[in-house]
Every structure is written in C-alpha cells, then in structure tokens.
Amino acid sequence: MSVNVITHPLVQHKLTLMRDKNTGPKDFRELLTEITILMFFEATKDLPLKEINIETPLKAMKSKVLEGKKLCIIPILRAGLGMAEAVLTIMPYVKFGHLGIYRNEETFKPVEYYVNIPYDLEERIVIIVDPMLATGGSAAYAVNLLKDKGAKKIKFLGLVAAPKGIDILQKTDPYVDIYIASIDESLNEKAYILPGLGDAGDRFYGTL
Ligand code: PRP
Ligand code: URA
C-alpha cells in the first residue's frame, strides 16, 4: 500500500483553480478532465510492459507495449464520472464499471443505488476514481464491493482527501494504492473536507 500525493506543479495549479468558489461548472469540468489525465499518468507508472517485434519505416525493432488485461475504471457516481470520462480520452479501451453511491446526509454513511461492474475483475488492475475522500466511507464501500466481485489489485485515484478518509481506506485494505493531489486539514460538522473544494458533484453538474 502507498499514499502518493501528486505535487506536480500543473496538478497543484489546476487544483487551486478548482478549489476557488468563483470557478463555475464549465471551467470546473474542464479542469477535472485535465487534472485527471495528469494524475492518471502517475497512477499508471507501474503498469507492466512487454516487448513486441515491429518494423518502423526504416528498420525492425523490439518495442514496448502494455502487458496483461486492460485496466478497469470504476467511477463512484456522480463526481467520479467526470474523472472516468477523462481517462477514456487517453485509454479508450479500458473496461468501465459504474458504482452509484451517495452519502446519507445525517449519518454520512454510504448508500448504494446502482452497481454495474464488469464480471472479470480478477486479472485486471482496477482503478476507483472519485474526486473526494472525506470520511472514506464511500471509497471503503467500493473497495469491499469490488473485492467481493473478485478484484485483486485496486488503486484509488482522487483529488482531495481528509486525513480520516486516508486512514479509513488504509484500514479497509492496506494493499490499495492511493493517489491524491492534496491531503487537507479536516472535516467539518457535515463531513465536508476543509478547506476542500465544496461538493464536487454539485460543482461538476451545476446542481448547487
Ligand atoms: C461525494 C464524493 C464521494 C463522497 C465522499 O459524493 O464524490 O463519493 O461524497 O465522501 P465520503 O468519503 O465521506 O464517503 P456524494 O455523496 O456527495 O454524491 P454525489 O457525487 O452524487 O453528489
Ligand atoms: N463530498 C464532496 O463532494 N465534498 C466533500 O468535501 C465531502 C464529500
């Protein structure tokens, strides 16, 4: 297990723009796409490669391609969907599942409302995408559900985490690699991340 805070200047710059309350839904969506692509590079830097024989216009050579089964991307709805769509722009052949979870407003516990997951997770690297890791309840629920469905290697790609969310996810499964752009200070009384960026789903879809 590892916790990777991606400090690349482009990631940090875009995160600042996303946090700003004056950033509207159009810019927020575009920034989420851009930052996800940048962070996805980091989250996939350990993918296995194999050599194949090809010919350039000038010469035969051995060259590297990805090895093994395609990745599976699992967005936690709603806000994770924007991140998953961004991944599709650079890896259009990934497998894609949907996991609908919302937080109960009083208990902050995750409530499942839609699950559509590829059946053959065993041999795939599974990457859960969700911008926010607050109490960690939604991500932990997703990890347990995916393990029940056979996933063996799971990564979590998000933007902003609270220390509690990181802690809960690590306790749920110490083998999940976490990629995040910031670990913020704390949670407020409504379990929102402080300073955070607000409600990611509402900002993405303009449902404020
Ligand atoms: C947000 C966010 C995560 C969850 C994180 O979703 O996108 O899924 O909260 O909080 P947690 O770590 O405390 O579980 P939300 O429940 O607001 O649903 P939405 O994306 O549909 O608005
Ligand atoms: N969900 C969000 O979208 N934002 C938070 O700060 C916490 C949960």
Residue 135: burial class (beta carbons within 10 Å; 0-12, 13-18, 19+): buried
Residues serving a catalytic function are 103, 107, 199, 202
Please give the structure tokens belonging to residue 59.
Answer: 């010469």
Beta-bridge partners for 177: 155
pLDDT at 208: 80
For a mutational test of ligand 1's pocket, the pick from 18, 74, 102, i.e. the residue with the most ligand atoms closer than 8 A to its C-beta, is 102
Which among 66, 74, 83, 78 has a CA at the least distance from the CA of 149? Answer: 74
Q: Where are the domains of the chain?
A: 3-205
Cα distance between residue 117 and residue 145, in whole Å? 10
The full 3-state SS of the chain, as one line of letters, equals CCEEECCCHHHHHHHHHHHCCCCCHHHHHHHHHHHHHHHHHHHCCCCCEEEEEEECCCCEEEEEEECCCCCEEEEEECCHHHHHHHHHHHCCCCEECEEEEEECCCCCCEEEEEEECCCCCCCCEEEEECCEECCCHHHHHHHHHHHHCCCCEEEEECCEECHHHHHHHHHHCCCCEEEECEECCEECCCCCEECCCCCHHHHHHCCC
Strand order in the sheet with 160-161: 132-133, 160-161, 182-183
Could you say which ligand is closest to the alpha carbon of residue 142?
A: 1
Q: Say if ligand 2 is within 6 A of residue 193 CB.
A: yes
pTM over 0.95: yes
The correct CATH number of 3-205 out of 3.40.50.740, 3.40.50.2020, 3.40.50.300, 3.20.20.370 is 3.40.50.2020
Q: Say if ligand 2 is within 6 A of residue 202 CB.
A: no
Q: What is the pLDDT of residues 15-59, one digit of tens each?
A: 999 999 999 999 999 999 999 999 999 999 999 999 999 999 999
Q: Say if ligand 2 is within 6 A of residue 137 CB.
A: no
For a mutational test of ligand 2's pocket, the pick from 193, 202, 204, i.e. the residue with the most ligand atoms closer than 8 A to its C-beta, is 193
Could you say which ligand is closest to the alpha carbon of residue 74?
A: 1
Q: What residue type is assigned to position 197 of the chain?
A: L
Please give the structure tokens belonging to residue 144.
Answer: 């347990």
Please give the structure tokens belonging to residue 24.
Answer: 């509207």
Could you say which ligand is closest to the alpha carbon of residue 110?
A: 1
pLDDT at 1: 64
> pLDDT (tens digit, 0 to 9) for every residue of the chain, 208 residues total?
699 999 999 999 999 999 999 999 999 999 999 999 999 999 999 999 999 999 999 999 999 999 999 999 999 999 999 999 999 999 999 999 999 999 999 999 999 999 999 999 999 999 999 999 999 999 999 999 999 999 999 999 999 999 999 999 999 999 999 999 999 999 999 999 999 999 999 999 999 8
Q: Say if ligand 1 is within 6 A of residue 133 CB.
A: yes
The half-sphere exposure of 78 on its side-chain side, counting CA atoms within 13 A, is: 10
